Amino acid sequence: MGELFGNLSSLSELDVSFNKLTGDLPNSIGSLSNLSSLYMQNNQFTGSVNVLRGLSSALTTLNIANNNFSGWIPKEFSSIPDLKLGGNSFANGPAPPPPPFMPPPPQRPRNRPKHPQGQGDAPKGSESPTIQSDKKQGLGTGPLVGIIAGSIVAVLCVLLLLVCCMRNARKRKDDASSESKDFVGPLTVNIERASSRETPEPNLEDTSIATVKLPPPEKMTPERVYGKNGSMRKTKVPITATPYTVASLQVATNSFCQDSLLGEGSLGRVYKADFPNGKVLAVKKIDSAALSLQEEDNFLEAVSSMSRLRHPNIVPLTGYCVEHGQRLLVYEYIGNGTLHDILHFSDEMSRKLTWNIRVRIALGTARALEYLHEVCLPSVVHRNFKSSNILLDEEHNPHLSDCGLAALTPNTERQVSTEVFGSFGYSAPEFAMSGIYTVKSDVYSFGVVMLELLTGRKPLDSSRERSEQSLVRWATPQLHDIDALAKMVDPALNGMYPAKSLSRFADIIALCVQPEPEFRPPMSEVVQQLVRLMQRASIVRRQSGEELGFSYRAPEREGDMRDISF
């Protein structure tokens, strides 16, 4: 890239993503002091990102995912609201401390009176004896350096011994409270931070050779796990979610009665749980018959991974229960219903889903999939992406549920169940043909949900004419026909949508539902296209709101797109 940024100090947004660029970042990029958005993902950049440290105070968006960057992540990045770093080779933990200070060897004094060598020869009140010659008694430069080096090694040994003692003491404490030897299982997913605001970087400046601050141990929750045969064992995995007892969940759900039933999803039913403290949560009761013995053993590992998924558009796992052969997952309760029910079973609610709200729902769920596919390491495949797994809150913000449950689905050696792996109408062609499911299969399912938002139709509807029963087959040939596209739009919108925005929305759908998975875009590209759609519409809205054919309310603050009409 050379030093081409030296004279572009007024640049506010730079997008060089998906260009296969190579090499280290040029120093001139650090002169872009007014840069607010920088997109460099999906290239082949190498080296350190320290050149971007000076931009962190102005940046609101930084995406350097899927490159070959290495070294440590600068702590200044913690101030960037929208930060994406996945797919690189950054070192874990804080940067190493600077090397210990080595004082220079003392020099022989010049032009000073010489005294006889010996500790008892100097008279009282006179100067201390000085080193006159290397040949005489006293410490030379070599022995002094050796003493300093030996002292440093001794300090390090003491610190290492202290750490070992602390670990042994903690291990003895754990062993004393355990009925059998604990086993720390490997994590199935290593989740990177999606936002540095949630988990700020440690202060690297506080680390020194003399004061070593050990990182706090990860929360380790030992649990009694009962197998199907009633046998009990103990396991221990790092889990951040809250453990619940079966008794407490039975009380909260009124013994899992029909009145508390919210719905039936993959692997089990979901119940509303009202706790005595006033908290309302959702409890998924896993059907143990659907799990193999190996999956039972890996249940807590899957819970550990799911509990660390953190994204504003993903329903967080807050608790779990593993008692007496029961497997239950506890989630936050989103009380405004699913996108599927609002679109297909409530005319009054579907009319509230204006065009701008539908675009916002698409963007929010796209960001959730982008997080699972491109931020989590390794990538998390949803496998059951559909409108009934998209929950809407009171402000119609989308929240994707069942994230990470693919780890609990039956293995491929068992009979494939479309109820578990996905639903008819949402499944990609490659899954129907061979049972193969990848992140690109999620992209296809996302395109189907976008079609639902556009048309208001179900993915499969046997009540319609045979040629219109499959939404994808019926809609795909018409996505690039302006007249046909206008006739496809959900009647609940009452024609209140901008034609250009509708056309761009359809273009994104056409890319996502490509029959060949290699031609479908990654979710980061889908997110960018939806963001650009919103930005273009915002410009048009500012020029003339009347041209859009309906009223609008300006955002309360810059960048708030909630009430912008597209």
Q: Examine residue 322 and state whether it is found in any structural domain, yes or no.
A: yes
Q: Examine residue 135 and state whether it is found in any structural domain, yes or no.
A: no
Query: Do 350 and 481 lie in a common domain?
Result: yes
At 185, the amino acid letter reads G
User: Where are the strands (E) in 449-538, listed by range?
Assistant: none
Domain of residue 21, residue span: 13-90
pLDDT of residue 348: 87
Q: What is the DSSP letter of 434?
A: H
> How many domains does the chain divide into?
3
Looking up residue 59, the CATH number of its domain turns out to be: 3.80.10.10
Res. 412: pLDDT tops 70:
no
pTM as predicted = 0.58
Instruction: Give yes or no for a contact between 65 and 41, defined as CB atoms under 8 angstroms apart.
Output: yes
Q: Of all helices (H) and strands (E), which one includes residue 323?
A: strand 317-323
Cα torsion angle, 97, 103, 104, 105, sign: negative
Which of 6, 68, 60, 5 minimizes the C-alpha distance to 36? 60
pLDDT of residue 69: 86
Query: Do 287 and 317 lie in a common domain?
Result: yes
pLDDT level of residue 130 (50, 70, 90 thresholds): very low
Query: Do 401 and 277 lie in a common domain?
Result: no
Q: Examine residue 26 and state whether it is found in any structural domain, yes or no.
A: yes
pLDDT level of residue 474 (50, 70, 90 thresholds): very high
Query: Do 324 and 377 lie in a common domain?
Result: no
Query: Do 393 and 542 lie in a common domain?
Result: yes
For 367-423, give the secondary structure using H, E and C: HHHHHHHHHCECCCCCCCCCHHHEEECCCCCEEECCCCHHHHCCCCCCCCCHHHHCC
What is the spatial distance between Cα 311 and Cα 313, in angstroms, rounded to a whole number? 5
Query: Do 316 and 295 lie in a common domain?
Result: yes
Res. 23: pLDDT tops 50:
yes
Q: Examine residue 157 and state whether it is found in any structural domain, yes or no.
A: no
Query: Do 418 and 498 lie in a common domain?
Result: yes
Instruction: Give yes or no for a contact between 407 and 298, defined as CB atoms under 8 angstroms apart.
Output: yes
Query: Do 442 and 521 lie in a common domain?
Result: yes
What is the spatial distance between Cα 530 and Cα 486, in angstroms, rounded to a whole number? 20
Query: Do 305 and 347 lie in a common domain?
Result: no
pLDDT level of residue 240 (50, 70, 90 thresholds): confident
Instruction: Give yes or no for a contact between 400 and 392, defined as CB atoms under 8 angstroms apart.
Output: no
Neighbours of 59 (CB within 10 A): 20
CA dist list (Å): 273 to 250, 252, 412:
9, 5, 34
Domain end marker among 74, 90, 106: 90
Domain end marker among 269, 302, 332: 332
pLDDT of residue 314: 97
pLDDT of residue 103: 52
